[in-house]
């Protein structure tokens, strides 16, 4: 019988806690159908595409029935090392509150390291057929205690020529075991393998959905997990979306991202299932009214939302299910409007991206993360727009024949108009406007020009920063409870540079590294001299490359 919630299963409290911590709120179709069968201990054939939640489908029953202090009870075969690593990591996260861990074993990694790890007796081993067979022949892996056997993406393994290796490995496992086979397709070689090694298996088939993506601009960006926040901030700064939806995989991820964005000065709020209905209504009212720039949400929280005016959708975490991708990006381009969807993809998630492209029949173009120079250019354009808005709000330019006279102005502008006339008689107009813009940008006071920068950026040598940036060292860190928002706020507030041009921030226990544009580095060092962050006096200096 299909389930609608993980709570319907009689799972260990620690396992259910791990499922909740992963952010899994409702079972996927394959999980809904197959979990009750797998938990009974029956052999199973699951036909489903990659990205439909297969790992948890076989992982939850294994973690539920593992016995303590017994080595190699579960063996999972994967066609590629990337999938083996991904599966091992996900199983370890789901079972984080249990005495269970999964060890990936694959070619390309030092075999001595794997031999040492296998001697520790991991309860779950996830590996590629070639390397597993190598360990069996060396005698460094014993399968006599295997109670659970999984063939993940069986058709891929056979297509890659692993059929003989797979059969040799299966022949080394005990006859009394539970075997689960998952495959996107079931060609005759896979069926033959199933008839030989599975006992009266139940079959669960989840048809590949026919998905249609709205006619919107779709892009993907390759980033590492630690780079996602900076990438998102740069896109928001450069693209300047009026209303943006950002999707994370888990509730914890939503909360953490919303906090980080708020620390950096963005108008952002979180939306997920743990909020009360009153809180959800308040957040949605703020977003619809334009008070919020960014709404960070989980998939479940965003279901059924009909919000007009969303310009951008960011997939901060790429969805595991292509159908979820379609639902997410469909939040934009409502009511005939144009829209943009940008998906962050880590190197290990490229296969998920290809699956989404294949099933949606959509071409998702690659984009690069905006550079610091592009962020600065957008900031300067925004300054110009502020001046233009102020000009357009006035009475307009004087007639040409009156250009030599001091123009009449609104009463509150009259003193400034007279000074402007005098300045323009002495200096070129471009110089006057440029200096005024710099004063506006740096927050200069009392009508005085901002402190002059050196003629050209100072040379700090190689500080380990990206091109055009200088990496600074600050002797305050995590133990002082410092956060990125504290660093940005202190530097922007004291030096007057816009917070949006501050680059990467790495906070360690006792110190912090922060990158600032090279042309502003000297100003930042002067401004932060003898200043404090979170009430503590700090020392700031250019970083050394060897730090």
Task: Give yes or no for residue 494 having a pLDDT over 80.
Answer: no
Q: 3-state class of 385 per DSSP? A: helix
* pLDDT tens digit sequence for 156-210: 888 778 889 999 999 999 999 999 999 888 889 999 999 999 999 999 988 655 5
| pLDDT band at 59; cut points 50, 70, 90 | very high
d(CA 157, CA 398): 77
Q: 3-state class of 218 per DSSP? A: strand
Higher pLDDT, 217 or 300: 217
Please answer whether residues 340 and 219 qualify as being in contact, where contact means their C-beta atoms are separated by less than 8 angstroms: yes
Check residue 435 and give its pLDDT. Answer: 66
* pLDDT tens digit sequence for 433-454: 776 666 655 543 222 223 334 4
* pLDDT tens digit sequence for 82-107: 788 889 989 999 999 998 889 999 98
In order of 80, 91, 105, 117, the CA distances from 87 in angstroms are: 11, 6, 11, 17
Lowest mean pLDDT among 148-152, 219-223, 296-300, 461-465: 296-300
* pLDDT tens digit sequence for 311-339: 899 999 998 777 778 878 877 755 445 68
> What does pLDDT average to over the chain?
82
Task: Give yes or no for residue 501 having a pLDDT over 60.
Answer: yes
| pLDDT band at 24; cut points 50, 70, 90 | confident
Residue owning tokens 């030599």: 404
| pLDDT band at 228; cut points 50, 70, 90 | very high
List the domains of the chain with CATH numbers: 6-205 (3.40.50.300), 217-370 (3.40.50.300), 387-442 (no CATH), 469-542 (3.30.70.330)
| Tokens describing residue 442 | 């740096």
Q: 3-state class of 290 per DSSP? A: coil
| pLDDT band at 455; cut points 50, 70, 90 | very low
d(CA 401, CA 407): 11
Beta strand ranges found along 305-456 (DSSP E) = 312-315, 340-345, 365-366
Strands across the sheet containing 74-77: 102-105, 124-127, 74-77, 148-152, 178-183, 44-47, 202-205
| pLDDT band at 457; cut points 50, 70, 90 | low
Please answer whether residues 220 and 364 qualify as being in contact, where contact means their C-beta atoms are separated by less than 8 angstroms: yes
């Amino acid at each position: 019988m299909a389930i609608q919630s993980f709570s319907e299963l009689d799972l260990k409290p620690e396992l259910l806690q791990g499922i909740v911590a992963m952010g899994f709120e409702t079972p996927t179709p394959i999980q809904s159908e197959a979990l009750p069968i797998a938990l009974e201990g029956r052999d199973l054939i699951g036909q489903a595409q990659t990205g439909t939640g297969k790992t948890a489908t076989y992982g939850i029953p294994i973690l539920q029935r593992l016995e303590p202090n017994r080595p190699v009870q579960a063996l999972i075969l994967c066609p590629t090392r990337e999938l083996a690593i991904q599966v091992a990591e996900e199983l370890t996260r789901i079972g984080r509150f249990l005495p269970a861990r999964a060890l990936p074993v694959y070619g390309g990694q030092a075999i001595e390291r794997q031999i040492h790890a296998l001697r520790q007796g991991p309860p779950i081993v996830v590996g590629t057929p070639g390397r597993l067979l190598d360990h069996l022949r060396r005698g460094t892996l014993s399968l006599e205690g295997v109670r659970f056997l999984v063939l993940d993406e069986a058709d891929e393994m056979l297509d890659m020529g692993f059929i003989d290796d797979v059969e040799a490995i299966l022949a080394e496992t005990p006859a009394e075991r539970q075997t689960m086979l998952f495959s996107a397709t079931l060609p005759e070689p896979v069926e033959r393998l199933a008839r030989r090694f599975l006992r009266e298996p139940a079959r669960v088939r989840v048809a590949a959905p026919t998905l249609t993506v709205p006619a919107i601009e779709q892009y993907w960006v390759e980033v590492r997990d630690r780079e996602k926040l900076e990438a998102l901030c740069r896109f928001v700064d450069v693209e300047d979306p009026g209303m943006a939806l950002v999707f994370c995989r888990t509730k914890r991820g939503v909360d953490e991202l919303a906090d980080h964005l708020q620390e950096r000065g963005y108008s952002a709020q979180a939306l997920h299932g743990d909020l009360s209905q009153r809180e959800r209504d308040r957040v949605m009212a703020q977003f619809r009214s334009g008070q919020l720039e960014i709404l960070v949400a989980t998939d479940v929280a965003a279901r059924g939302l009909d919000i007009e005016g969303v310009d951008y959708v960011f997939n901060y975490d790429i969805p595991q299910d292509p159908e979820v991708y379609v639902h997410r990006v469909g939040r934009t381009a409502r009511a005939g409007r144009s829209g943009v969807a940008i998906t962050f993809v880590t190197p290990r998630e490229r296969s998920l991206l290809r699956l989404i492209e294949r099933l949606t029949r959509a071409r998702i173009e690659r984009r690069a993360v905006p550079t610091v120079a592009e962020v600065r250019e957008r900031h300067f354009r925004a300054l110009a727009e502020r001046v233009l808005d102020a000009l357009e709000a006035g009475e307009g330019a004087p007639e040409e024949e009156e250009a030599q006279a001091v123009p009449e102005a609104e009463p509150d502008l009259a003193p400034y108009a007279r000074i402007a006339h005098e300045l323009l008689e002495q200096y070129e107009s471009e110089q006057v406007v440029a200096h005024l813009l710099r004063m506006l940008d740096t927050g200069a006071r009392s009508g005085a020009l901002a402190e002059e920068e050196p003629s050209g950026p100072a040379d700090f040598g190689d500080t380990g920063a990206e091109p055009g940036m200088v990496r600074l060292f600050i002797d305050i860190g995590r133990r002082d409870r410092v956060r990125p928002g504290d660093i940005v706020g202190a530097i922007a507030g004291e030096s007057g540079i816009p917070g949006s041009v501050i680059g990467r921030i790495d906070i360690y226990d006792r110190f912090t590294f922060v990158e600032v544009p090279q042309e502003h580095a000297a100003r930042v060092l002067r401004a932060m001299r003898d200043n404090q962050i979170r009430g503590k006096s700090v020392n700031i200096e250019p970083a050394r490359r060897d730090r």
